[in-house]
A and B are shown apart, each in its own frame.
Chain A
């Protein structure tokens, strides 16, 4: 019994080592049915822990109806909802397929997926391409404009991006993130620098590989106008970093945090594939003109994978400009968020540093023991969806991961360690 703390410390050190040793490279864009061998027709992957149709929130249902029409499984949104309620579709979490998705997180067979390969460990993780802001499927949007955009992403943007990335031999992401942190990004609600840096790298290759001038112009315009384009790249990268850190026996480090608009789910490295789930909390933030907290849906998305690897709310110190955007207080408090997250993590990432904090590394490796002991909840920067299907994004804010998840995870971890 007495060596248990030492065993945990050693296991956690190994988990952190694997996270820090990652070498994520954005290598390709491929259709989901190629990328995900277990993704079947009429299967819909969603964000967060497992959930049945009956318990899904409004925007999740709206997105499912929309994606069913997009895939041609239903002719209308009403028909799609009826089919979903009748059990015509199979729902599984993205995380069960080495995949992540923002907000509602829809992943289906014909969508093009970003491919990030962690070359240090030989694993690949996937995420759909960011659709832009406002009325989009990830926030529950599902009208003709949303579906037409998805078709363009499938037919033009995805193939073009894939060809450009293959032409480049991939884009190493660790140095890109390091530069983004020094330029004011935290890679969750602020991706302006990394989106721009990525476009700068991609543009020549796109010009070489996309021969249709109108298509090329549309691709450059779409990426150039989307400050959050890099978010989905960062998410696939986060998943590729956390995957090798899973399954370290005796490790109490968090490898997954995610939410589906109803539940928040956590997984630990040392507790296999078990989910620890609690009701998700409401984001606190700022709303677009015409909307208020009364319109907001509880938090959702797999995007908290970036916080798992030390970015987003954990790297807020690098991004004072985002603090005001998400209504988290004065910009001068940015570093406080990062310092606070340092209380629940076991290390820092020496390659991802924050200049204004004397080049401190972003806090990395959330230890469930520290979360429960201190009561300090992981802070997640997030977008806010309208609670009704079909409306879309209405704001941005911060949300705290519910403590109950971590308390349940601690009990599950203790059981695994033979402690009662």
Chain B
């Protein structure tokens, strides 16, 4: 990445893609920053017991 990049980043309109919890993008959306949300959820809905089974069953 160019050393000049961070300087220009905040001077031009932001283009944001949110990968992860919707909460990350909510704050930006409240400030009227356009955000594209990638549909994402943690494996097995974040339930560790099910995620452990899935890892052994090959999902």
Contacts and interface: CB of A to CB of B under 8 A. Distances in A.
Interface of A: 1, 4-6, 8-9, 252, 369-370, 372-375, 403, 407, 410-411, 413-414, 417, 419
B7 interface: no
A8 B45 CA distance: 22
A5 B58 contact: yes
B56 A419 contact: yes
Given A411-B53, A414-B53, A372 B44 contact: yes
Given A4-B58, A369-B59, A370-B59, A403 B45 contact: yes
A370 B45 CA distance: 12
21 contacts: A1-B56, A5-B58, A8-B58, A369-B54, A369-B58, A372-B44, A372-B50, A372-B54, A372-B59, A373-B44, A373-B54, A374-B41, A375-B41, A375-B44, A375-B45, A407-B44, A410-B54, A411-B50, A413-B57, A419-B56, A419-B57
Among B44, B54, B57, max chain A CB count under 10 A is at: B57
B34 interface: no
Contacts of A372: 44-45, 50, 54, 59
A252 B56 CA distance: 13
B20 interface: no
B41 A417 contact: no
A8 B59 CA distance: 10
**Which of the four size classes fits the interface of chain B?**
10 to 19
A71 to B, nearest CB: 45
A372 to B, nearest CB: 5
Nearest to A407: B50
Among A369, A373, A375, max chain B CB count under 10 A is at: A373
A339 to B, nearest CB: 12
Among A5, A9, A403, max chain B CB count under 10 A is at: A5
Nearest to B42: A375
A9 B43 CA distance: 20
Nearest to A414: B53
Interface string B29-54: 00000000000010111010010011
A411 B57 CA distance: 11
Chain A interface helix/strand/loop/mixed? helix
Contacts of B58: 4-6, 8-9, 369
List the 7 closest A-B pairs by CB distance, nearest first.
Answer: A5-B58, A369-B59, A373-B59, A414-B53, A419-B56, A375-B41, A375-B45
Contact of A414 (B45, B47, B56): B56
Nearest to B54: A373
Contact of B57 (A5, A403, A407): A5
Among B44, B45, B50, B59, max chain A CB count under 10 A is at: B59
Contacts of B59: 369-370, 372-373
A419 B50 CA distance: 11
Contacts of B43: 373
B59 to A, nearest CB: 4
Contacts of A403: 45
Nearest to A374: B41
B53 A4 contact: no
Contacts of B41: 374-375
B45 to A, nearest CB: 5
A342 to B, nearest CB: 14
A252 B57 CA distance: 10
Given A372-B50, A410-B53, 4 more contacts: A4-B58, A6-B58, A373-B54, A419-B56
Interface string B7-21: 000000000000000
Nearest to A413: B57
A412 to B, nearest CB: 11
Contacts of B54: 369, 372-373, 410
A136 B44 CA distance: 40
A403 B57 CA distance: 18
B53 A419 contact: yes
A4 B45 contact: no
B16 to A, nearest CB: 23
Nearest to A419: B56
Contacts of A373: 43-44, 54, 59
A4 B50 contact: no
B45 A410 contact: no
